Amino acid sequence: MRTVEIFDTTLRDGEQSPGVNLSTSEKVEIALQLEKLGVNSIEAGFAASSPGDFQSVRAVAKEVKQATVVSLSRSVEKDIDAAWEALKEAESPCVHVFLATSPIHRKHKLRMSKEEVLENLDQAIRYAKRFFPKVEFSAEDAGRTEIDYLCQVAERAIKAGADVLNFPDTVGYLTPEEYADIFIQLRRRVPGIEKVHLSAHCHNDLGMAVANTLAAIQAGVDQVEGTINGIGERAGNAAIEEVAMALKTRESYYQAATTLNHREIARTSRLVSKLTGMFVPGNKAIVGANAFAHESGIHQDGILKHQSTYEIIRPETVGFEKSRLVLGKHSGRHAFRDHLSALGYRLTDEQVNQLFARFKEMADRKKEITDQDLIALVEEKWGEPKAEAYALEWVQLSYGNQSVPTASIRLRHAETGELLEEAACGNGSLDAIFKAIDRITEEEVELVDCKIVSVTRGKDALGEVYVQLNQNGLTVQGRGVSTDILEAGARAYIDGINRLIQRRGEKPSAEKEKMGVSLG
C-alpha cells in the first residue's frame, strides 16, 4: 500500500470562492484543524496578493508545526520574495510557483511565446531555490496544454530544481482517462521525472474533480491537491474528504492510503463551512447532513437489521455520531416503532398499527416528522384530558446586557389554590425562568430541547415555545403561546411539568399497561 500526500488548498484556492474572505485568525484556526486532520501540506494563501494575505501566511507558518506551509507565487521575483518573507519562520516552508502553459493562456493572457514561458519558469524556479528547501511548480492549465510542450515544461522545471511538479486541470475540462494519460505520458517521456514528486490539482466545472483526482492516483501521482467541502474558484476543487474516503473505502481497489485522521473530517468540514459561510448541501458526499440519513421505509428497515445494507461508510469513521433515521412519508413501521421506543413508548403491534395510520396522514402533510410530532400523536391517542397541577399567575424579568438575568415567578397550585413564588438567576432569561419553576415544583427534569417559533407576523406576532423534558427516561413535550416569547417559554415549561406529573401520578404505569401502553 503506497501513501499519497494530501496538499490542502482550502485557505488559498478555497478562499478564491466568490464571497469568501478569511481573517488571519480564521485562517490560523482552520490551519490548526487541518493539521489535526493530518494533511501533509497547507497552502495558506498568496503572500504577494495583499498585506492581509501576507499576514495570514506568516501567522499560519508560525503556528503550524507538522505540515509543510505553502504560499502561492506568480513566476516573478517580487512574489517569491514576499512568499519567503512570510514563510521563513515555518518549520517546513514551500513556495508554489505557477505559470500557465496552455496555448489559450500563452496567447491571450500572458502574451508569451512557448520559449518565453520556458525561460520564465526556469528563472523563477532557480530564484525560488535560492531561498526555499522545497519548490513546487505548477503548469497552470496543463489540462489544455499540448502534451509534447508539457513534456518540455516538465523537463525544464526539473532542470531548474523544482521538487514537486503539479499539472492542474485548471478549468475542470478533462475526463478521468485523459487526465490520467497526462501523468502516464510524462512518466514515460520526461528524463529525470523520477527525481520529482508529481501532483494532481482538479477543478469541478464538469463535476469530475474527484473522479479525475482518483484517476491521477491510479496513474501513480505522489500528491493530490484539494479543499475541504470542495470549495474553490467557480465550481470548486476536488473535495479532500471525498478523495480520502474513496481511498479508504475502496482500499483494495486503489491500493493507496493517505495520512488523514478520518475522524476529524466532520469537525473540519463544519469549521470550514462556518468560517467561510459556504453552506454544505444536505446531499454532499461524506459531510452533507443527509450523507448518513435514511428516510424510506425499506432502507430504514434494512439499516435497523444491518447497517451495511445501505451504508458503505460508518458515520463514526468520519466523526459523525450515528446514522439518522428520518421519519417522513416514505417511512415504514420498523423505523416508526424504533423512534417511539427511543422516546420511552413500548407499544404492542396493534397500537403501532393504529398510530401508524395517523402518522402516514400527518407525514403526507409535513416534510419531516419530529419527536414532538410523535409525542403529540401518542398523547392525542392515549393522553388524559389535561389536568393542570400548576398554573402561571405572573412572571417578571430583570434583564440588562451587563447584568445576570433574574426571573421571579408566581404559580398557583391547582388542587390547594396555594400561591407559590420563587426567583432565580440564569444564563439567559429563559434559563432563569425555567430555574425558578424548578424551585417551585421541585421536579428534577432535563431540558432536552427548546424551540421558539413565531406563529404570526408583525410586531404583535404570537410566539410559540416548545420544550421537550425528560425525567428518568420519560419524555414529554410542553407548549406555550403568547405575544411575549418569555411568557410563552414559562407556559411551555409549566405545561411540560404538568404533563410529567399527570403521566406519573394520574396515569401510573400499571394502569397504562392494562391499556397496553407502557411509558418509560
Q: Give the separation between CA 265 and CA 519, rounded to whole angstroms.
A: 39
Least distance in angstroms from the C-beta of 144 to ligand ACO:
12
Among 98, 359, 390, 434, binds ligand KIV (CB under 6 A): 98
Under rule CB under 6 A, how many of the chain's residues touch ligand KIV?
10
HEC states along 89-157?
A: CCCCEEEEEEEECCHHHHHHHHCCCHHHHHHHHHHHHHHHHCCCCEEEEEEECHHHCCHHHHHHHHHHH
Nearest to 138 by CA among 225, 251, 263: 225
Q: Give the separation between CA 134 and CA 44, rounded to whole angstroms.
A: 15
Q: Give Cβ neighbours of residue 414 (< 8 Å, ≥ 6 apart).
A: 387, 388, 389, 390, 391
Coil, strand or helix at 290: coil
The verdict on whether residue 306 carries a ligand-binding annotation is no
Least distance in angstroms from the C-beta of 96 to ligand ACO:
10
Least distance in angstroms from the C-beta of 499 to ligand ACO:
59
Least distance in angstroms from the C-beta of 46 to ligand KIV:
9
The verdict on whether residue 262 carries a ligand-binding annotation is no
Q: Does 168 bind ligand KIV (CB under 6 A)?
A: yes
The verdict on whether residue 283 carries a ligand-binding annotation is no
Coil, strand or helix at 198: strand
Among 71, 170, 323, 502, binds ligand KIV (CB under 6 A): 170
Q: Which residue has the cell 408583525?
A: 458
Identity of the residue, 150 or 260, whose beta carbon is nearer to ligand ACO in the bound complex: 150
Candidates 69-77, 261-269, 451-459, 499-507 — which segment interacts with ligand ACO by CB under 6 A?
A: 69-77
Among 16, 66, 273, 408, binds ligand ACO (CB under 6 A): 16
Give the per-residue contact string, 327-346, with ligand KIV (x = CB under 6 A; - = no): --------------------
Q: Give the separation between CA 453 and CA 465, rounded to whole angstroms.
A: 6
Candidates 18-26, 45-53, 178-186, 486-494 — which segment interacts with ligand ACO by CB under 6 A?
A: 45-53
Q: What is the CA radius of gyration of the chain?
A: 30
**334 in Cβ contact with 365 (< 8 Å):** no
Phi, psi (5° rounding) for residue 322?
Answer: -160, 170
The verdict on whether residue 431 carries a ligand-binding annotation is no
Least distance in angstroms from the C-beta of 75 to ligand ACO:
4
Q: Which residue has the cell 402518522?
A: 359
Candidates 163-171, 267-275, 311-319, 356-364 — which segment interacts with ligand KIV by CB under 6 A?
A: 163-171
Among 5, 8, 13, 169, binds Mg ion (CB under 5 A): 13
Candidates 6-14, 85-93, 398-406, 449-457 — which segment interacts with Mg ion by CB under 5 A?
A: 6-14
Q: Does 127 bind ligand ACO (CB under 6 A)?
A: no
Q: Does 138 bind ligand KIV (CB under 6 A)?
A: yes
Q: Which amino acid is at 87?
A: L
Give 448-455 contacts, CB < 8 A, sequence gap 24+.
448/475, 449/371, 449/372, 450/489, 450/492, 451/372, 452/485, 452/488, 452/489, 455/481
Under rule CB under 5 A, how many of the chain's residues touch Mg ion?
1
- If one counts every other C-beta atom within 10 angstroms of the C-beta of residue 446, the result is 10
Annotated binding site for Mn(2+): 13, 201, 203, 237
Annotated binding site: 13, 201, 203, 237
Residues in contact with ligand KIV by the rule CB under 6 A? 13, 72, 98, 138, 140, 166, 168, 170, 201, 203
